[in-house]
């Protein structure tokens, strides 16, 4: 089955949504989505790494012997993550501080290595870039949505813009709320994904 | 196989080295700008470059910055760390030469969002430390018999915040004594 490039990009939104349908990369998903803007930044950071690592890995895959492909891929992914870290520290220090530990943890995000293994090493550079873009956008969309829901319920604001006075339901900003929101959104997305089939 | 891994590592490390060289200056600049901004927020108007030094309080080293206006010392910005609810809580505390707390700002905060993290945004809480004279007001939360109104449901954070300030005031006494 071959997909067009557009299909490669859009499949990440619902059908192969990395968070709600593939259920990959749960650790940053739960931890960084305390607000919409944090979730979106984390998603975009992962998108950046995913596109570049997918392209680099698809380019070198034919030359890497099977025995060492995982170490080679991890080195490539770690390089892009570190590059991203330097860039964020230099140009968006405030955002770097908020996301902190979760930027270096993109290295071990299963979405990134997962796409390298499942897609990039069997496809061309262009196709892999589209796949990275699609999955990355899907991830960004999911994290922003999750962050938005938690921010609305938890603090009564959207992207930092407050529409109620006082507090929301604080539990939603903390870990239990993350699991609750994730569960309900997962139900919703799986329903949508089934319908689309 | 060895050659392949070697090549991959070599290429990756070269890329990293290049990016590091390019971003080093902006990163240092961003870090310095952040410190200067935090200092400017907590001390009165000054025209000198902040001078960094350290003072020890109960065996703990604390960094502080001295700023001057027309050669006279305008104030001290003291970095003070205590344990909050979610980890270390670091404040920049500005103390004027007469021993009053001029203003405070938070450098590192791992407090619970919506509860303790309000120490970053709760104006009523933050403003009670502006122009505070530790000789007149007792620096501890009301629950502990002091004069500080704690953030609702965040006594531990409020305690840590207050302790950081009172540590800075103590450190100031050491600076003066030196």
Q: Summarize pLDDT for B113-149 with one digit per residue, the tens.
A: 778 888 888 888 888 888 888 888 888 888 888 888 8
| Residues found in chain A | 197
Question: Residue A2: which pLDDT band, with cuts at 50, 70 and 90?
Answer: low
Helix axes A110-118, A125-155, angle to 10 degrees: 150
Give me the residue spans of the domains in chain A: 17-145
d(CA A38, CA B172): 37
pLDDT digits (tens, 9 = 90+) for B145-178: 888 888 888 889 999 999 999 899 888 888 887 6
**What's the pLDDT tens digit per position in A98-148?**
887 788 888 888 888 888 888 888 889 999 999 999 999 999 999 999 999
ipTM score above 0.90: no
pLDDT of residue B12: 92
Residues 6+ apart with CB under 8 A from B46: B40, B67, B68, B69, B74, B75
Q: How far is B129 from chain A (nearest CA, A)?
A: 23
Determine contact: A110 vs chain B, CB below 8 A: no
When scoring A48, A87, A90 by the number of chain B Cβ atoms within 10 A, the one with the most, hence best to mutate, is A90
- Where does A33-174 have alpha helices with state H? 36-60, 69-91, 93-99, 110-118, 125-155
Give the nearest chain A residue to B3 (CA atoms). Answer: A64
Do the beta carbons of residue A157 and residue A163 sit within 8 Å? Answer: yes
Q: What is the pLDDT confidence band of residue B18, given thresholds at 50, 70 and 90?
A: very high
Q: For residue B84, is pLDDT > 60?
A: yes
Residues of B in contact with A65 (CB under 8 A): 1, 4
Q: Residue A66: pLDDT band by 50, 70, 90 thresholds?
A: confident
């Amino acid at each position: 089955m071959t997909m067009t490039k557009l299909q490669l990009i859009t499949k990440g939104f619902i059908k192969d949504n990395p968070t709600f349908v593939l259920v990959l990369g749960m650790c940053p998903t739960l931890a960084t989505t305390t607000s919409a803007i944090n979730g979106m930044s984390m998603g975009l950071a992962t998108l950046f790494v995913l596109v570049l690592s997918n392209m680099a890995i698809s380019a070198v895959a034919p030359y890497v012997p099977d025995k060492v492909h995982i170490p080679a891929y991890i080195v490539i992914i770690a390089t892009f993550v570190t590059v991203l870290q330097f860039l964020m520290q230099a140009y968006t220090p405030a955002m770097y501080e908020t996301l902190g530990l979760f930027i270096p943890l993109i290295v071990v995000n299963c979405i990134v290595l997962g796409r390298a293994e499942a897609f990039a090493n069997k496809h061309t550079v262009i196709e892999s870039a589209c796949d990275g873009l699609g999955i990355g956008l899907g991830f960004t969309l999911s994290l922003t949505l999750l962050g938005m829901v938690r921010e609305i319920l938890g603090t009564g604001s959207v992207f930092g813009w407050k529409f109620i006075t006082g507090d929301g339901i604080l539990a939603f900003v903390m870990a239990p709320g993350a699991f609750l929101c994730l569960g309900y959104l997962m139900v919703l997305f799986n329903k949508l994904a089934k319908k689309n089939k | 196989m060895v050659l392949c891994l070697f090549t991959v590592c070599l290429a990756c490390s070269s890329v990293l080295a290049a990016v590091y060289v390019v971003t080093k200056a902006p990163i240092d600049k961003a870090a310095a700008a952040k410190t200067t901004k935090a200092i400017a927020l907590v001390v009165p108007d000054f025209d000198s470059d902040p001078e960094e030094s350290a003072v020890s309080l109960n065996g703990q080293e604390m960094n502080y910055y001295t700023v001057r206006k027309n050669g006279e010392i305008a104030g001290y910005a003291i970095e003070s760390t205590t344990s909050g609810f979610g980890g270390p809580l670091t404040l920049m505390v500005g103390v004027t030469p007469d021993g009053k707390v001029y203003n405070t700002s938070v450098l590192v905060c791992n407090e619970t969002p919506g509860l303790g993290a309000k120490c970053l945004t709760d104006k009523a809480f933050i403003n009670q430390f502006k122009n505070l004279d530790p000789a007149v007001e007792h620096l501890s939360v009301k629950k502990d018999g002091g004069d500080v109104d704690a953030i609702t449901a965040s006594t531990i954070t409020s305690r840590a915040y207050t302790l950081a300030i009172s540590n800075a005031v103590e450190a100031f006494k050491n600076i003066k004594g030196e």
